Amino acid sequence: MATPISKTAARKAPPARKPGKAPIAYTVPGMEINDAQTVIGILQDRLNALTDLHLTLKHIHWNVVGPNFISVHTMLDPQVDAVREMADTAAERIATLGGSPEGTPGRLVASRSWDDYNLMRDDALAHLGALDVVYTGVNGDFRKAIDDTEDLDPVTQDLLIEMSESLEQYHWFVRAHLENSSGQLSTAGAGSERVAAARAPRTRNAR
Ligand SMILES: [Fe+2]
């Protein structure tokens, strides 16, 4: 007879499978199971990125300070709403393909390959400098996911292209605050959120 385990022990047990790797029993007609499995992995990584992004955008919405507070604070909420919708679309595409979308915070943190956003209360332009780095990472990975689904699943690729159109526009909204009249970005070449935040053109009374 199996030894009963406590609820605490059960909650602490490591997941039986690596996140995003659970085998599937069926998929959409006309698609090979192995191809669907690969696409589900790509979508799960995008779902993780989108969930992380809409939470990060809210975090910035709450932590901006300085004379540009209201413009940045109000600019971000429509992005939060749109990115949440994108996460829902990615998750439901995973389910449509026969997979099980992973949406819990613990699985997200265990699966992601990037660090948490690391600015707290700060000048609005410092946050926008750091957000430029965030969007650079997210949007670059979306372009790769679009390439990787080219031959596997044009339907998923179409969804990713539609999301990228908006995400790249939101990135422009951010970069327009960091650009001078010659078209140079103050954050050009910044490899981290901290460096980008320090290079952002802070407003005079936030120095
Ligand atoms: Fe709010």
Tell me what pLDDT residue 191 has: 81
Tens-digit pLDDT profile for residues 78-113: 999 999 999 999 999 999 999 999 999 999 999 999
Sequence letter at residue 101:
P
Tokens representing 78? 């429509």
Is there a contact between 130 and 196 (Cβ–Cβ < 8 Å)?
yes
Tell me what pLDDT residue 5 has: 42
Tell me what pLDDT residue 90 has: 98
> Ligand 1 centroid vs 58 CA: distance in angstroms?
8
Tens-digit pLDDT profile for residues 179-201: 999 899 988 888 888 889 988 87
Q: How far apart are CA 146 and CA 169, in angstroms?
A: 17
Tens-digit pLDDT profile for residues 106-158: 999 999 999 999 999 999 999 999 999 999 999 999 999 999 999 999 999 99
Please give the model's pTM, rounded to 2 decimal places.
0.87
Neighbours of 6 (CB within 10 A): 8
> Ligand 1 centroid vs 191 CA: distance in angstroms?
29
> Ligand 1 centroid vs 61 CA: distance in angstroms?
7
Tell me what pLDDT residue 22 has: 82
Q: Is the pLDDT of residue 3 over 70?
A: no
Decide: residue 38, CB within 10 A, 0-12 exposed, 13-18 middle, 19+ buried.
Answer: middle
Tens-digit pLDDT profile for residues 17-69: 455 578 999 999 999 999 999 999 999 999 999 999 999 999 999 999 999 99
Tell me what pLDDT residue 75 has: 97
Tell me what pLDDT residue 71 has: 95
Place 6 in a pLDDT band, splitting at 50, 70 and 90: very low
> Ligand 1 centroid vs 159 CA: distance in angstroms?
28
The DSSP bridge partners found for residue 64 are 122
Q: Please provide the DSSP assignment of 108-171 as one string.
A: HHHH-SSPPP---SEEHHHHHHHHHHHHHHHHHHHHHHHHHTTTT-HHHHHHHHHHHHHHHHHH
Q: How many residues does the chain have?
A: 207
Identify the DSSP state of 15.
P
> Ligand 1 centroid vs 172 CA: distance in angstroms?
22
> Ligand 1 centroid vs 54 CA: distance in angstroms?
13
> Ligand 1 centroid vs 39 CA: distance in angstroms?
35
Q: Is the pLDDT of residue 2 over 50?
A: no
Tokens representing 167? 């995400």
Tell me what pLDDT residue 158 has: 98
CATH architecture for the domain at 31-206:
Up-down Bundle (1.20)
Residue given tokens 């997200």 in the structure block: 108
> Ligand 1 centroid vs 145 CA: distance in angstroms?
31
Q: What are the extents of the domains in the chain?
A: 31-206
